[in-house]
Structure 1
Amino acid sequence: MKVGLAQIRPHLGNVAKNIEIHKQIMKQAKEEGVELLIFPELSLMGYNLLDLTYDVACTVDSEEVQEIVSESKGIDIAFGIVERSPDHILYNSAIYASYGSIQSVHRKVYLPTYGMFDEARYFGRGEKIRAFDTKFGRVGMLVCEDMWHPSAPYLLAQDRAELLIVLANSPARGVHAKGLGTQDSWDLILTSQAQFYGMCIACTQRVGTEDGITFFGNSTAVDPFGDTLVQGPLFEESLVTFDLDLDMVRQARFTTPILRDENTDLVVRELTRIQQHRRGE
């Protein structure tokens, strides 16, 4: 399968403009034979929305979302939105669309609210981490900070995900002689988790600047042996494409059978004990 990482520069709060950007990239991707196209976190709205968050929020069946979903008849698409639920809670959500309909929605579970981040002020927390079946194989989705919590990729690996899609908006921080600290951290997280669980990981990062926050790009794909398949440029818009063979997952999980040997009963038992202890039970 051919995969595309849409390393774009969303316009903050301008949903109409961002829809056009999505359509342009989808058209280009189809022309290049891409079968699965992955956009960054909150790709339809922009990231640092603050008080605009409620104004740009939309339901998954809204005209704005369906305008993108309808384009998935010839290409599978993963993109990010501010989702407004029926009870008017807002979520930082990733949508996976195929055959012109939504196949899965992942609501970001871990909302960074420290340092420069303030997501818990605006978003509700997702309560599920689950893989789902696609025409390519079994897939899981995470949104940015989710990936920094080892429990999230662990759960998707246990749910037999072969491909992990990560939609991210990571600011450039920690400049040093060899590059960016955030870039180094993401490289380590992606390669280690792919190798631990024998799954492919495709992570799309955005570029551009919002209110002094610069996003660095460098979208990355890693094979299940932990080897980097492709990386996008720093700070530049790009459609990064690569060929992915999910048969490598079977090879990796046979060669290094970590999932086979994992004792989930022990994990559940010990986590239950730890929770009870913390609650004073």
Structure 2
Amino acid sequence: MSHVQNIAIAQISPRLGDFDANLAIHRQYIERAREQGAQVVVFPELGLTGYLLQDLTLEVARRLDHPDIVSLVEASRDIDVVFSFIEESEEHFIYISSVYASAGAIVHVHRKAYLPTYGLFDEKRYAKEGNLVEPFAVHGKKSGILICEDAWHVSMPYLLTMQGATVLYVPASSPGRNVMDEHDFGSHTFWRQLLQMYAQLFGVHIIFSNRVGYEDGVHFYGGSGIVGPDGHWIVQAGVGEETLVFGAIDDRDVRRARYTTPLLRDERLELMVRHLRRMGRARTDNTRVE
């Protein structure tokens, strides 16, 4: 098995609430990525639906066995596909989900665990929080998915890497905020620095796929890319443009990084567990007093 994997990132501008149009866009980018030799193509958060859905949420929600989702999973027969949509569970709960599909089957589903409800964000009003943080095995390596806000909580990449993940996929719908100049946003700078820190701290490759375009006056800037375990960007997409960018990740880079900077090896999980249990007991005791 090759140590190198060719990754394509589809930095697209989804059409709000138009599932059919977005499905067609996904198929076009999958074909382009396949033709150019990519082994995995990664789409942004809610690339199949758009982000500011509000009352459109129920209309665009799809179960995993819906024909639209099945057709996209079928497209993964000769190229792996990471895509995101509004998922409706069997209980009719709504989640912001991302699927990793390979060889015509669903390998993993991650339901967004942290739903921002501050500023312009109102996700918890429409969706339910996911409760599982688990890596998945594909092509001989363990990977994990973090959806946008998930990655702003250090517990999430910590949990995935402590369970063996060496690749983290981060689909996002991050708007440009705190404009610094024509091509730089405070949110863009924060994402770059955050992902570089995680990559070095945990010795992983990170694939960041952020959307572009406008919805209801909100600008999504893009800036997608791949960060290596040494903290350097292997490839970066431009700001504000729909594009398909390519980069290669090499398992041997993770091996080298984790040997030279063995932070993950030296992590004391039992120390963390002991303190979390103590904190949990203290919180329970405080609740009883109240």
For normalisation by structure 2, the TM-score amounts to 0.95
* Equivalent of 2:262 in 257, 260, 276: 257
Correspondence for 1:192 = 197
CA distance in 2, matches of 1:139, 1:37: 14
1:259 is displaced (CA, Å) by: 1.2
Q: What do you get for the CA RMSD once the two structures are aligned? A: 0.9
Correspondence for 1:81 = 85
1:136 is displaced (CA, Å) by: 5.0
Unmatched segments (≥5 aa) in structure 2: none
Q: What SS class does the counterpart of residue 244 from structure 1 fall into?
A: strand
CA distance in 1, matches of 2:282, 2:230: 37
CA distance in 2, matches of 1:113, 1:246: 37
Mapped pair 1:95 → 2:99: yes
My pick for the range that moved more, 142-151 or 175-184, is 175-184
Residue correspondence of structure 1 range 126-275 to structure 2 within 5 A? 126-135=130-139, 137-177=141-181, 179-275=184-280
Unmatched segments (≥5 aa) in structure 1: none
My pick for the range that moved more, 128-137 or 233-242, is 128-137
CA distance in 1, matches of 2:221, 2:90: 34
Q: What SS class does the counterpart of residue 209 from structure 1 fall into?
A: strand
CA distance in 2, matches of 1:136, 1:37: 18
Q: Aligned partner of 1:121: which letter?
A: R
* Equivalent of 1:12 in 13, 16, 30: 16
1:243 is displaced (CA, Å) by: 1.2
Mapped pair 1:21 → 2:25: yes
Mapped pair 1:48 → 2:32: no
Mapped pair 1:33 → 2:37: yes
CA deviations over 1:40-70 (Å, ceiling 9, x no partner): 0011111000000011101011101011100
1:138 is displaced (CA, Å) by: 0.9
Stretches of 4+ moved more than 2 A in 1? none
CA distance in 2, matches of 1:176, 1:242: 28
Q: What SS class does the counterpart of residue 26 from structure 1 fall into?
A: helix
1:279 is displaced (CA, Å) by: 2.2
Q: Aligned partner of 1:149: which letter?
A: H
CA deviations over 1:131-161 (Å, ceiling 9, x no partner): 0100151100010000000000000110110
CA distance in 2, matches of 1:136, 1:58: 30
Between the two proteins, the alignment pairs up a number of residues equal to 281
